[in-house]
Amino acid sequence: MLRNSVFSCFVFYAVLLVLKMYMLAFITGQLRLRKKAFANPEDAMRHGGPQFHRLDPDVERCRRAHRNDMENIFPFLFLGAIYSMTGPSLGVARLHFLVFTACRMLHSVAYLAALPAPTRSLAYVLAQVPCVSMALQILAAVATYA
């Protein structure tokens, strides 16, 4: 399958997005240490005492960004892989993957930097366009097998 150039193109952007998600997890961890705000008492005990078992708005913001990624990037990993098997042209397919990747990168930046609304929402909606497009093209390709 990696000799299929559309699939390999998809894989490239998909792995970048997975690494971006790992980056969010890393930032969450760093924020927890810097702001001394831990989700578990045993972590707080190791880093100063039970009073640091607490919420922090910056940590929560990062976790919301991460959750939104799960809601959107994980379905992309599925849709992009299947869409690549439906025989789209490389140019059209790459456009789908590029728009999604760029918008989700912007989404994370807009979330973490708390950019004024509706920057983040626009990035979210624009990223959905290639996803819904792929979903509909896949349905058209397999509808006879339902």
The string of DSSP letters for 114-132 reads: TPPTTHHHHHHHHHHHHHH
Select 54 or 64, whichever has its Cβ closest to its own copies.
Answer: 64
* Interface with its own copies: number of residues (CB under 8 A): 58
Which pair of tokens denotes residue 82? Answer: 């299947």
Asked if residue 146 binds its own copies (CB under 8 A), the reply is yes
Among 80, 69, 134, smallest CA distance to 105 is for: 69
Dihedral angle, C-alpha 7, 103, 64, 44, nearest 10 °: 80
Asked if residue 142 binds its own copies (CB under 8 A), the reply is yes
Minimum CB–partner distance for residue 72 and its own copies (Å)? 8
Extract the runs of DSSP E, i.e. beta strands, from the chain: none
End-to-end CA distance of the chain: 24
**Region 26-85 residues binding its own copies, contact defined as CB under 8 A:** 29, 39-43, 45-47, 61, 64, 66, 70-72, 74-75, 77-79, 82, 85
Minimum CB–partner distance for residue 28 and its own copies (Å)? 9
Contacts of 126 (CB under 8 A, 6+ apart): 99, 103
The residue assigned the tokens 């509808």 is: 143
Minimum CB–partner distance for residue 121 and its own copies (Å)? 8
Which pair of tokens denotes residue 3? Answer: 């000799």
Q: Which residues form the interface with its own copies (CB under 8 A)?
A: 1-2, 5, 8-9, 11-16, 18-19, 21-22, 25, 29, 39-43, 45-47, 61, 64, 66, 70-72, 74-75, 77-79, 82, 85-86, 111, 114-118, 120-121, 128, 131-132, 135, 138-139, 141-143, 145-146
